[in-house]
Homo-oligomer: A and B are copies of this chain.
Amino acid sequence: MGIETVISDEVLEQRIRVAGLKPTRQRLGLGRLLFNGISRHVTADELFGEAVNTGVPVSLATVYNTLRQFVDAGLLREVLAGPGRSYFDTDISHHHHFYHVDENRLEDLPIGVVSVESLPQPPTGSEIERVDVVIRLRRQ
């Protein structure tokens, strides 16, 4: 009786369809790795490695395509923290991050633990898309 919510095949397939995408073998396999109920922060090549290890037949190009499509569909959130790579966050709720610079690893902050007070007016012609708070951590 684990706490972990394992998504059913039907729900996963439905989620992909609702996003306007065909539930192909590749998307279902990647979706299963991503939406297994645990909040995750993966890079493209980490996810590709997991796919290879678990026998999901997919190319690296498709991993990139699928991550981009899932972000566009609002199923994933892209987080930029370190230079030169994107992290994909399976938790799309509004929250902030620790970034472990020595390990290139993202970690969620407990929600509400950081609050940004008094957001400034955005410059004319612009609107706020998102506010990102990244607390950069190094080994002591």
Contacts and interface: CB of A to CB of B under 8 A. Distances in A.
B120 A128 contact: no
B140 A120 contact: no
Nearest to A133: B133
B123 A127 contact: no
Nearest to A81: B80
A114 B113 contact: no
Interface stretch (A8-16, A45-53, A54-62, A82-90): A82-90
A18 interface: no
A136 B128 contact: yes
Given A114-B118, A117-B115, A129 B123 contact: no
B131 A135 contact: yes
Nearest to A125: B140
A87 to B, nearest CB: 10
30 contacts: A80-B80, A83-B86, A98-B122, A98-B123, A107-B123, A110-B120, A114-B117, A114-B118, A114-B120, A115-B116, A115-B118, A116-B116, A116-B117, A117-B117, A119-B135, A122-B135, A123-B137, A125-B139, A125-B140, A126-B139, A129-B136, A130-B136, A131-B134, A131-B135, A131-B136, A132-B132, A132-B133, A132-B134, A132-B136, A133-B133
